[in-house]
Structure 1
Amino acid sequence: MNIILLIVIPLLVAFLSILVKKYQMILLVLVAIFNLVVLFLAEQGMVFIGGYEDALTNNLLGITLFLDVYATIALWLINGLILIIALLNIKTYPKYGTILMLAMAGLNGLVLANDLFNLFVFLEISGIAAYLITTSNKKPVATFKYLLYGSIGSSLFLFGIVILYAMFGTLNLVVMIREIQALNDYSQVILPFLMMFIGLGVEAKLLPFNNWVKGVLGSSNTLSGPMIVSVYMAAMTFVFGRLITNLFQFEGTLLLVVTIILAVGIVVGDLMAFSSTKVREILLFSSIAQSSIIILLFVNNLVIWAVYLIIANALSKTVMFLVINHAVKETQDDEVHALKGIFKDNLIVGTTYTVATLSVMGLPLFVGFIIKLNYLTLLADQNQMVLIAVILIASLIEGIYFVRLLVKLWYKDESTVEVKYHLGFKIVFVLIAISLIVFGTYSKPLDELDNQIDGIEEVVQNG
C-alpha cells in the first residue's frame, strides 16, 4: 500500500469529522487502526509525488517520501501510541478527535518527508495541532507561550532551510547531503545547521530552548501529557536523529558547542527534577534530561541505541503521565504529599508505574538497563569519558528523586485520597510494563538491528 495514505487519510477524515463532531474520536480510532494496517502492508522505498528527476542536474524535483526501517519504527510507535491515548480518552475528551488526526497526519509526514520544505510544512501542521491539544489544560497563558516559542523555533528552522536552498539550489534531502559532502569549506553551513538545530530543539524540549515546557506539561492531563511528552517527543527526536546523522555534519567548534548544550541539559534537567515538589514537574524535567541523552547519542552516531531509548522512554512516560495525571484529576493537587500512598490500594497501577520508573532509571531486569549499558559501552569505545561521567552523575541524581517519589506514592497516611483507575488504563499499563520487562530480560531481539536502519545514507551512496 502507498505510504502517502498515512498522511492523506488522517487529513481527509479530519476535515470530514467536522461534519460529524459527535463521532470524531471513533473516527480517530478507526484511522489509527487503518494506519497500522497500512504500515504492516507497506513496502519500503521512496515515493515520488508530483515531480520528476532532472537528468541534467541529478536533482529530484517534487515531493518525495521515504520509508525505511528507521521511519517504520517511528511510525509504528507514533500511530500505536495515538491509538492507545485515543482509546483511553474517548469519553473524557470527545472533542479532540479532529485535532489528534491533524497531529497524526503532521507527525507521519515529518517522519516520511524526504525534502526540507515539506518537512517544514509538516512541522507547522503538527505544531498547530500541538497548540490546540494543550488547550485542554485550560491554561491559555501557557498555551500562548508554547505558541510563541514554537513560532520562533519554526521560523529559525525555515531560515536555515532558506540559506541551504540559496547555497545548493535544492530542497531534496538526498541531493543536499551529496552537495554538502562535496563541500571543502564546512564553515559555510554552520549558520543554517545551528538555526535548524535550535528550531527543532524547541520542539524536542532541549535546554535552553524549552521555557514553554513547565507551563504546558506542569498542568497537563491524560490527553495532553502523553501526547506531548511521548508522541511528540518521539516524533521530534526521530526527525532530529535523521537530520543529525545525515544532514548536519557536526564537527569542530559546532560539535563542541552542541555537545556542551546537551551535556548541560542532561544534568540541569535532572537537578530541576530533584528540586521539584510537584510530581508532573518531576516527570517533565526528567523528560528534558532524557531528550538530551537521546540527541547526544545521535550526535555520537549511536543510532540504534538512540532509537531504542526513544521507544523505551515513550512507553515508560506514557504510563507515568497517564497514572499521575489521572490521580491529579481526582485529587486536584500534584504536590508529592497530596498523592502520598495512592498506590497502596492500586497494586496493579502502582506496580506498572514502578516498572516504568525503574526502566527509565536504567536498573537491571528492565529494558532501560540493556539500553544504558550498551550506549555507555559504545561511548567508552569512543573514549568519551567526560560524557559517560556526566550521564552517570545525572543517573545518580535521577535515581535519588525517583526512589524518593516511589516511596511517597507507595506509603500512605491518614490524608491519603483514594484514586480509582478503570480497566482500560490497567490493561494498557500491564501490557507496557510486560514489554519493558521482557526486553530487559530477553534482549536478543534488540541485537538484530544496527545503525544501518537509517537507509538515507545508502540512497545517497548508491542512488
Structure 2
Amino acid sequence: MSAVLFIAIPLLAAFLSILSKKVAPYLMLIVSAALVVLLTVVPQETILIGGYQSPWGIVLVLDQYSQIALYVTNIAFFLIAAMNFCDYKKMGTILLVALAGLNGLLLTGDLFNLFVFLEIAGISAYLISSTNKKPLHTFHYLVAGTVGSSLYLLGLIILYNMFGTLNMADMADALVGVNPVLVAFPFLLMFIGLGVEAKLVPFNAWVKGILGHANTLSGPMIAGVYAGASLFVFGRLLTSVFVLSDQLMLIVSVVVGFSILAGEAMAYASTKARQVLLFSSIAQAGIAVLMFVYGFALIGVLFVTLNVFSKLVLFTVIAQMSAQTGSDEIADLRGVFAANKWVGAGFSAVVLSVLGLPLFAGFLVKLSILEALFAADNLLFPAIILLSSVVEGVYFIKMLVSFWYSKKEAPKLSFTKLQVYVILVIAGILVVFGSYVQLYFDVIASIGGGI
C-alpha cells in the first residue's frame, strides 16, 4: 500500500468513467468511500517517484499532518458526494479529478507539483461552480483563480532562481540562516496565489458570486472541502517551510486581521442566508491562517477541521431551503425549522459550535486559540477575535430565531434521509467533543506530537 494511490486511483477512475456516463457517479462514490478506508491501512511514509532521489525527484509526504488533512478532506468529500448523488450524476468524472487534485495538494512535498495539483483542483472547482448556472460568476472565478495561480508560479520561479530547489524540505533547510527579507517578495506572490482559494480579503472577489448562489454541491464543496484543503496547504508552508521577517509578519497579520473584521462586518450587514455564511467563512479562514502564521499548527488543524464540517452542514441546509423556497432571504425563510425540527436542531447545534458556546466543540477550539495567543503575548488578535465573536453571535442568533419562529404557517421542506443523518451525526459529534472535555484533550494528545 502506498500514498500515491490517493492520487492514482481517482485519476484512473476518472479516465474509466469517461467510457460510461452511467457508471461515472457510481464509480465516484465507490472510489471516494474506498479512499477513506484506505487511509486506515496506508503507513506514514515519504515516497520518491520517477527514480530520482530527493530533492530532484517528485516527492509525496504522508506524515501525521497530511494524514489528518486527508481524513478531513476525503470524509467530507464522500459525504457531499453521497448526499448529492442523485441530483448531480453528470459530475462524477469531474469530482474524481477534483479528488485527485485535492489529495495531491495535501500529499506533495514539492512546491512546483503543488502548483500542478492547484491547477487540477482549480479546473475542477470551476466546473463544479458551473452547477450554479451562473456562467458570468464562474468566469470571474476562473479569472481570479488563473491570476492567483500565475502569481504563485511567478513566486515559485523566483525562489528556484534563488535556491535551485523546489523541494519543501530542501527549501526549508536552504532558508536556515538566510535573511527572511530576501524571500519576502516571492513569498507574498505565493501567499496571494493561495489566498484566492482560501478566500482571504482582498483576494476573494469571486466568492460572493459563487457561494452567494451555491447549491448543495458547490456550496459545501467549495466553502468546505476546497477551502479546508487550501488552509491545510497554508499550514504546511507557514509552519514547515517559510520563516517570516518582522515586516512580512506585519503585512500578513494586517491581511488576516482585515479578513476577520471585514468578513464579520459584511456577514452582519447581509440579509441573505448564503451571503451570511460565505462572509462568515472569510472570517474563519482568517483565523485559521492566523494560527498557522504564529506557529500553532495543532490548533490550526483542529480549527480547519471544525470549519470544514460546519460549512458542510450549514451550506447544505441553506442551499436546500433556498432551492425549494426560491429565495435565501432570511425574512423569506421564517419559521422553516418549525416544520423541519430535526434539521433545525442539527443546524442550530452547528451554529452554536461555530459561535464557540460551551458544551460544543467550537468552544474548546476557540478557547485554545485565545490561550495560545495570550501565551504568545499577543493582545491585539484576542481582542479582534472576541469582537468578531460578538458580532458573529448577533447575526447568527438573529438567523436562528428567524428560522425557528414565525407568526405565519411554516413551509414544509424536503430533506433526504441521508442529509438528515449526516447533519445530525456531525452535530452530535460536536456536542460529544464539547461535553466530554477529556475526550477532546485525548485527541490532542494523540495527534499533537506528530503535527
Please, what TM-score do these two structures have when normalized by structure 2? Answer: 0.98
Within 5 A, what are the aligned runs for 1:380-419? 380-414=374-408, 416-419=410-413
Contact conserved, 1:338 with 1:416, CA < 8 A, in 2? no
Question: Which one of 244, 247, 253 corresponds to residue 253 of structure 1?
Answer: 247
Structure 2: unaligned runs, 5 residues or longer:
none
Which residue identity lines up with residue 374 of structure 2 in the other structure? A
The match for 1:453 is: 450
Within 5 A, what are the aligned runs for 1:347-362? 347-362=341-356
Which residue identity lines up with residue 166 of structure 2 in the other structure? L
- Looking at structure 1, the residues matched to 384 and 148 of structure 2 have their Cα atoms a distance apart, in angstroms, of 27
Within 5 A, what are the aligned runs for 1:70-109? 70-109=65-104
Matched, 1:224 2:221: no
Contact conserved, 1:336 with 1:408, CA < 8 A, in 2? yes
- Looking at structure 2, the residues matched to 343 and 415 of structure 1 have their Cα atoms a distance apart, in angstroms, of 11
Count of aligned positions: 448
- Looking at structure 2, the residues matched to 74 and 413 of structure 1 have their Cα atoms a distance apart, in angstroms, of 45
Deviations 1:281-323 (A, max 9, x none): 0000000000000000111111111111111111111111111
Quote how far apart the aligned CAs of 1:449 are: 4.2
- Looking at structure 2, the residues matched to 234 and 447 of structure 1 have their Cα atoms a distance apart, in angstroms, of 19
Which residue identity lines up with residue 427 of structure 1 in the other structure? Y
- Looking at structure 1, the residues matched to 157 and 164 of structure 2 have their Cα atoms a distance apart, in angstroms, of 10
- Looking at structure 2, the residues matched to 313 and 47 of structure 1 have their Cα atoms a distance apart, in angstroms, of 30
SS at match of 1:60: coil
Question: Which one of 405, 429, 433 corresponds to residue 439 of structure 1?
Answer: 433
Matched, 1:113 2:108: yes
Contact conserved, 1:3 with 1:38, CA < 8 A, in 2? no
The match for 2:147 is: 152
Within 5 A, what are the aligned runs for 1:3-402? 3-53=3-53, 60-183=55-178, 185-402=179-396
- Looking at structure 1, the residues matched to 24 and 332 of structure 2 have their Cα atoms a distance apart, in angstroms, of 35
Which residue identity lines up with residue 151 of structure 1 in the other structure? T
- Looking at structure 1, the residues matched to 406 and 424 of structure 2 have their Cα atoms a distance apart, in angstroms, of 23
Q: RMSD in angstroms over aligned alpha carbons? A: 1.1
Contact conserved, 2:137 with 2:206, CA < 8 A, in 1? yes
Quote how far apart the aligned CAs of 1:450 are: 5.9
Deviations 1:219-267 (A, max 9, x none): 0000000000110011000001100112221121110111011011101
Contact conserved, 2:292 with 2:300, CA < 8 A, in 1? yes
- Looking at structure 2, the residues matched to 24 and 186 of structure 1 have their Cα atoms a distance apart, in angstroms, of 48
- Looking at structure 2, the residues matched to 108 and 224 of structure 1 have their Cα atoms a distance apart, in angstroms, of 18
SS at match of 2:205: coil
SS at match of 1:255: helix
- Looking at structure 2, the residues matched to 437 and 18 of structure 1 have their Cα atoms a distance apart, in angstroms, of 42
SS at match of 2:154: helix
Quote how far apart the aligned CAs of 1:451 are: 5.0
Contact conserved, 2:330 with 2:399, CA < 8 A, in 1? yes
Indicate the percent of aligned positions where both proteins have the same amino acid.
47
Which residue identity lines up with residue 125 of structure 1 in the other structure? I
Contact conserved, 2:338 with 2:410, CA < 8 A, in 1? no
Contact conserved, 2:141 with 2:210, CA < 8 A, in 1? yes
Which residue identity lines up with residue 5 of structure 1 in the other structure? L
- Looking at structure 2, the residues matched to 151 and 415 of structure 1 have their Cα atoms a distance apart, in angstroms, of 47
Which residue identity lines up with residue 345 of structure 1 in the other structure? A
Quote how far apart the aligned CAs of 1:433 are: 0.6
Quote how far apart the aligned CAs of 1:187 are: 1.8
Which residue identity lines up with residue 25 of structure 1 in the other structure? P
Structure 1: unaligned runs, 5 residues or longer:
54-58, 455-463
SS at match of 2:23: helix
- Looking at structure 1, the residues matched to 401 and 181 of structure 2 have their Cα atoms a distance apart, in angstroms, of 52
Quote how far apart the aligned CAs of 1:417 are: 2.6
SS at match of 2:61: strand
SS at match of 2:57: strand
